[in-house]
């Protein structure tokens, strides 16, 4: 190999070295200046169970006890009436709707029993319903008092009407029970309308089934509609 060839070979080797160094420098700079990609936060693990739904509490039981169907059978059943007042041995039960009143009387006697709607003084002008049970049969009458101490006679005798629509009764264990139904406002001038609010009443009972026998006990009370 002559001198020219050696010189050319050395020059080529030098150029190769320079190019190699430039490539290394370029690669190094690219690596150093490359933007750093932030690492991603770990993906939360999927829940291993279904979230629990809050347990719903059962609603409060605000229902009232079932109401018994009213029947004029002389038996005062639980729930048959919505109101009760007691005056010693005398008990009056009642309920009403938009048109009628239903009354059940239970009295510690085997004689007659009565209730009167009383707008006047003492017995005067009292609208009286009186009944008894004799030999297992109930009787009832719609009466009107014409004086402070009576007499009280049938509305029909005065030209009015008997407005008791249904009734029944029994004697049980020394008690007389009478149930009846009438309109709140009968339209009879010898019957007093029962109004919303407090209605004054008088009550009485005897020791005998004879309606003419004087009362054994009596008193005043009220029913509210």
Q: What are phi and psi of 74, to 5 degrees?
A: 75, 15
Mean pLDDT of the chain: 81
pTM above 0.85, yes or no: no
Q: How far apart are CA 60 and CA 210, in angstroms?
A: 52
The CATH homologous superfamily for domain 83-224 is Cellobiose dehydrogenase, cytochrome domain (2.60.40.1210)
Which 3 state secondary structure label does DSSP give 185? coil
Average pLDDT over residues 203-218: 89
Which pLDDT belongs to residue 13?
Answer: 59
pLDDT at residue 132 tops 70 = yes
Angle at 94 between CA 70 and CA 117, to 5 degrees: 130
Pairing of strands 175-183, 198-205: unpaired
Kindly report, residue by residue over 59-86, the tens digit of the pLDDT.
433 334 456 899 999 999 999 999 999 9
Between these two residues, 193 and 30, which has the higher pLDDT value?
Answer: 193
**Residue 21's pLDDT is what?**
58
How do the domains of the chain map onto residue ranges? 1-31, 83-224
Q: How many helices (H) and strands (E) does the chain have?
A: 1, 11
């Amino acid at each position: 190999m002559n001198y020219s060839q050696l010189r050319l070979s050395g020059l080529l080797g030098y150029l190769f070295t320079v190019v190699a160094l430039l490539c290394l420098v370029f690669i190094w700079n690219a690596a150093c200046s490359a933007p750093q990609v932030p690492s991603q936060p770990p993906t939360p693990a999927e829940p291993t169970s279904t979230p629990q739904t809050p347990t719903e509490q059962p609603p409060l039981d605000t229902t009232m006890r079932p109401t018994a169907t009213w029947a004029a059978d002389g038996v005062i059943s639980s729930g048959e009436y919505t109101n009760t007042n007691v005056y010693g041995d005398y008990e009056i039960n009642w309920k009403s709707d938009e048109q009628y009143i239903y009354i059940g009387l239970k009295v510690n006697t085997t004689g007659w029993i009565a209730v009167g709607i009383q707008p006047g003084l003492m017995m005067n002008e009292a609208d009286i319903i009186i009944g008894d049970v004799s030999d297992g049969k109930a009787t009832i009458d719609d009466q009107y008092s014409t004086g402070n101490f009576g007499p009280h006679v049938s509305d029909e005798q005065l030209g009015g009407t008997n407005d008791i629509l249904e009734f029944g009764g029994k004697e049980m264990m020394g008690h007389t029970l009478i149930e009846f139904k009438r309109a709140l406002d009968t339209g009879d001038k010898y019957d007093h309308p029962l109004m919303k609010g407090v209605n004054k009443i008088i009550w009485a009972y005897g020791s005998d089934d004879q309606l003419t026998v004087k009362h054994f006990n009596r008193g005043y009370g009220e029913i509210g509609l």
